[in-house]
Chains A and B, each alone.
Chain A
Amino acid sequence: MNRKNDQVNDVILQTAAVIIFFIIIVFSINLFFAGHYSPGGGFIGGLMTAAALVLLLLAFDSKTLAAVLPFDYRKMTALGLVIAMLTSLHSIFWGRPFLTHAYDKFDLPLLGEQTLHTAIAFDLGVYLVVIGVTMTIIQTIGESE
Chain B
Amino acid sequence: MEIFVSIIIGVLTMSAVYMILSKSLLRIIIGTGLLSHAAHLLVLTMGGLKTGAAPVLVDGVTEYTDPLPQALVLTAIVISFGVTAFFLVLAYRAYQELNTDNIEEMKGTESND
Cβ–Cβ contact A38 & B78, under 8 A: no
B44 to chain A, nearest CB (A): 16
A133 close to B (CB within 8 Å): yes
Cβ–Cβ contact B56 & A43, under 8 A: no
Known: A39-B54, A39-B56, A130-B78. 14 other contacts (CB 8 A): A37-B56, A38-B56, A43-B74, A43-B78, A47-B78, A133-B82, A137-B82, A137-B85, A137-B89, A140-B89, A141-B88, A141-B89, A141-B92, A144-B92
**Closest chain A residue to B93, Cβ basis:** A144
A39 to B53, CA, bound (A): 13
Contacts of B92 in A (CB 8 A): 141, 144
A43 to B54, CA, bound (A): 18
Contacts of A39 in B (CB 8 A): 54, 56
B32 to chain A, nearest CB (A): 16
Number of A-B contacts (CB under 8 A): 17
How many residues of chain A have a CB within 8 Å of chain B?
11
**Closest chain A residue to B82, Cβ basis:** A133
By size class, the interface of chain B is under 10
**Closest chain B residue to A129, Cβ basis:** B78
On B, residues with C-beta under 8 Å from A are: 54, 56, 74, 78, 82, 85, 88-89, 92
Chain A stretch 121-145: residues in CB contact (< 8 A) with chain B: 130, 133, 137, 140-141, 144
**Helix, strand, loop or mixed for chain B's interface?**
helix
On A, residues with C-beta under 8 Å from B are: 37-39, 43, 47, 130, 133, 137, 140-141, 144
A84 to chain B, nearest CB (A): 14
A136 to chain B, nearest CB (A): 10
**Closest chain B residue to A43, Cβ basis:** B78
A75 to chain B, nearest CB (A): 18
B71 to chain A, nearest CB (A): 10
Contacts of A141 in B (CB 8 A): 88-89, 92
**Closest chain A residue to B55, Cβ basis:** A39
Contacts of B88 in A (CB 8 A): 141
**Closest chain B residue to A141, Cβ basis:** B89
Contacts of B78 in A (CB 8 A): 43, 47, 130
A144 to B54, CA, bound (A): 43
**Closest chain A residue to B57, Cβ basis:** A37
Q: List 5 A-B contacts (CB under 8 A).
A: A39-B56, A43-B74, A137-B82, A141-B89, A144-B92
A37 to B55, CA, bound (A): 10
